[in-house]
Homo-oligomer: A and B are copies of this chain.
Amino acid sequence: PAMACSPPEVSKFPTVRLTGFFQADTAWFHQSERNIAAVGGAEDGSDFRRARLAAVGNVWDNVAYSLEMDFGFPGRPSFMDVWVDMEDVIGDVNLRVGQFRQPIGMEGLTSVKELTFLERSLPFALIPFRQVGAVAYGTASDDLMTWAVSGFRFPTDVYGGSVGENGGYGTAARVTGLLVDREPGNVRFHVGGAYSFIDPSNDLLQYRSQPEVFVSETGGGVPAAVAVNTPFFVDTGIIDAEHTNLFGAELAASAGSFYAQSEYLVSVVDQIGGPTVALPGAYAYAGYFLTGEQRSYDKKNGVFGDVVPNCSVDKDGGIGAWELAVRYSYLDFNDANVQGGRLSDITAGVNWHWNPHTKFQLNYIHAMLDSPVNGDSDASIFAMRAHLDF
């Protein structure tokens, strides 16, 4: 049959662009005595939270790719977005194969270059995030809606590997909608819902979280008595799990220079030899630009987008963009036999965007821990970041 046919000329492809970013962090921890007793001492320190290089581009008119490595994350380097994207495979449906962020969790799907605070909120610990698999995705209603359905191996290690027995599979789906989308005034109202079923390999599952900030030194040279990593404040330990059902709900809005975002996530774990437990978390935050910028919205992915200062700091002066933000988040790992602790964080942040690619961030975090064994305790954390992307 006559068939549409790309000639074998290969002069135009592949295209390749080198991109990347890094984030240099410094943190100081002030823990109460009881907090040290509960989780161990957290040492002050500096490190590169992330340092990434990626090759991205197209190898044909309908095939795009990303090959991204992170040199700061344990694994060094760790596999990040490594995928091939096939556009319009059937109608408007796109298909992605490789390692990518699974479609659940608005904050997890927001680019780490565009996060309002140094770290994602506590409930981030619950989502599968980057796993190896395949996802079908697209938009609808003139890009006012997004949808995605994926299948993946679980868990995937830092090198994109997943082996094991008794499971090792998961699926996730997410739908978002912009109920309001008025460009003049930047007035938007976003709702979203997501679900994931995970049958972990080897029937093992573990959730844990640091207090929304951490520094580490793992290159050696630290005496045995000194902690090289910021301790986990909450930790379920290893759960013998048949599978888990994860549910997520999203609300977000913007108006002028103001924006806000909130999510609720809960993992309902079907234990082997134990009761079903529900491990919930939630957060809400708001940000405001003192210098008049507006937070953009990424309609392809159904998340907030980048910040472009009205008046970047340049050779002739310029004030950059100044942003204030506050957040509340919690994670509750206490249910039946799982007693991993309950953690609430209040965070205040100031972001100084020098230009669209350089920013300095300041976070003050007050972490309140309810530990099953050690009771209530708290910690105050002061942290800074220099961020540059290219």
Contacts and interface: CB of A to CB of B under 8 A. Distances in A.
Contacts of A330: none
Counting chain B CB atoms within 10 Å of each CB, which of A18, A24, A132 scores highest?
A: A24
A275 interface: no
A366 B63 CA distance: 33
Interface stretch (A178-186, A214-222, A247-255, A260-268): A214-222
Copies in the complex: 3
Contacts of A79: 48, 51, 71
Contacts of A18: 16, 18, 55
Given A14-B390, A24-B132, A75-B219, A6 B161 contact: no
A236 to B, nearest CB: 14
A316 interface: yes
Interface in A107-164: 132, 153, 155-164
A97 to B, nearest CB: 5
Interface stretch (A189-197, A223-231, A372-380): A223-231
A259 interface: no
A336 interface: no
Given A160-B24, A216-B161, A390 B65 contact: yes
Interface stretch (A30-38, A279-287, A339-347, A350-358): A350-358
A354 B60 contact: yes
B318 A215 contact: no
Contact of A61 (B65, B69, B222, B315): B315
A348 interface: no
A76 interface: yes
Contact of A51 (B160, B163, B318): B160
Contacts of A273: none
Interface in A67-89: 67, 69, 71-72, 75-77, 79, 82, 84, 86-88
Nearest to A98: B24
Nearest to A316: B4
Contact of A389 (B3, B14, B229, B356): B14
Contacts of A26: 153
Given A157-B221, A159-B71, A163-B44, A3 B390 contact: no
B44 A165 contact: yes
A338 interface: no
A374 B215 CA distance: 43
A46 B154 CA distance: 10
A245 interface: no
Contact of A57 (B132, B309, B390): B390
A159 B43 contact: no
A311 interface: yes
B60 A312 contact: yes
Nearest to A152: B46
A223 B250 CA distance: 35
B6 A217 contact: no
A349 interface: no
A390 to B, nearest CB: 4
B53 A163 contact: no
A311 B160 CA distance: 32
Contacts of A168: 44-45
Nearest to A8: B308
A270 interface: no
A292 to B, nearest CB: 11
15 contacts: A5-B310, A5-B312, A14-B357, A22-B67, A46-B132, A47-B132, A47-B161, A48-B79, A59-B355, A59-B388, A60-B312, A60-B313, A71-B79, A76-B77, A163-B229
